[in-house]
Structures are given as C-alpha cells and as structure tokens.
Amino acid sequence: MDKKKMDACLRLIADGDNDALASLYCNTKNGIYAFLYSYYRNKWDTENATQSVYLKIKQYAHTYKNGTDARAWMFQVARNFALNDLKRINRERSMEDSVLEHLGGKTEIPTLEVFDALNNALDSVEREIVILHVLWGYKHREIANLLSMPLGTVTSKYKTSLKKMKEYLKEDRK
C-alpha cells in the first residue's frame, strides 16, 4: 500500500470507516507483526499485540497528521503499545514473584492462580493490604497510616491474608 492510500485510509478510519481499517490491516499486518515479533519473540503474544495495535490505530487515527509518514506513525503506535504491554507483563511477574516469596517461595504456582487467590480468598481490605505491602513495598506502619487503621490491625490482617491465600492455593491444587 502506498503512502497516499495509507493517508486516505487513516483519514477514513478517523471518520469511523471500518472498511478502511480492514483494508489497512490486510495491507500492513505482516509488517506490524514482524515489527512486534522483535519485542515479544513468540507467536501467541505477537498475534495478540498485532490485533491490539490495530485497535489503537483505530482509536488514535484522528491524531495522525495527513501527509506525514503513515507507516512510521503506525510503527510508533506499535512500539508504544509493545513497551507499555511489556511493562505491564513485567509488573505482573514481579508481583507474582513477590507474592510467592511471601507465601513461602512456591514457584510452581502459576500466575493466574496467585491472582485468583488474591481476588477470591481475600476481602477488599485484605487484598489492598497485601498489594500495598508486597507489590508497592509499603511497610505495615505506612499502610496503617494510608488506610487509617491501627498498626496491629494491619499486621494481623496481613498475616491472616497470607494464611488464607496459602489455604486457597492448597485447595485449588487438589
């Protein structure tokens, strides 16, 4: 697809034309896929990211300046998406590692099970305390101040939360 057609497609996409998006996708998906593969290095994540990038292109097509390099603009959208997505993935992995460390280092527990335990075994206050301590690194005293709770309550709820999560994970693995 040449530059003029890409410009025209982006203008139409900005106006809500889904056929233009389909045309742009069909003509540029291989290049975007190859570009994203260099970030993700696996087929599954790259395919998901490619689809997401075209949704971002649709969302932000109105910001594209006509007559500039549409291909470069699209690659910048893809790059920004990949970097943000990989940061999110690393944060989740970091949280998983931290939670597992606090649960006794059981590294064989998959990420989804840890998040499942956080969401299903704990109430909202307990979940908040665990996330503030494990993920954000707040000390119990700081959490007590943030949540306007006595220090003993925060410490007790934290210990109880870890026990609940361990029990939930034991039951879930049976």
Instruction: Express each pLDDT in 44-72 by its tens digit.
Output: 999 999 999 999 999 999 999 999 999 98
End-to-end CA distance of the chain: 55
User: Residue range 4-26: average pLDDT?
Assistant: 96
pTM of structure: 0.58
Confidence of residue 42 (pLDDT cuts 50, 70, 90): confident
Task: Let me know: does 13 contact 57? Beta carbons within 8 Å.
Answer: yes
